[in-house]
Amino acid sequence: MAVTISLLVIFGALLVILLRSRALGFGSAFVAAMFGFYLATSGAAPTVNHLMRALVDALPNL
Write the pLDDT tens digit of every residue in 7-57.
777 777 888 888 888 887 888 888 788 778 877 878 878 888 888 889 889
Give the pLDDT band (50/70/90) at residue 4: low
CA distance 17 to 29: 11
Amino acid identity of residue 13, one-letter, is: A
Q: What global pTM score does this model have? A: 0.53
CA distance 57 to 52: 9
pLDDT for 5 beyond 70: no
CA distance 60 to 53: 12
Q: What percent of the chain has pLDDT over 90?
A: 0
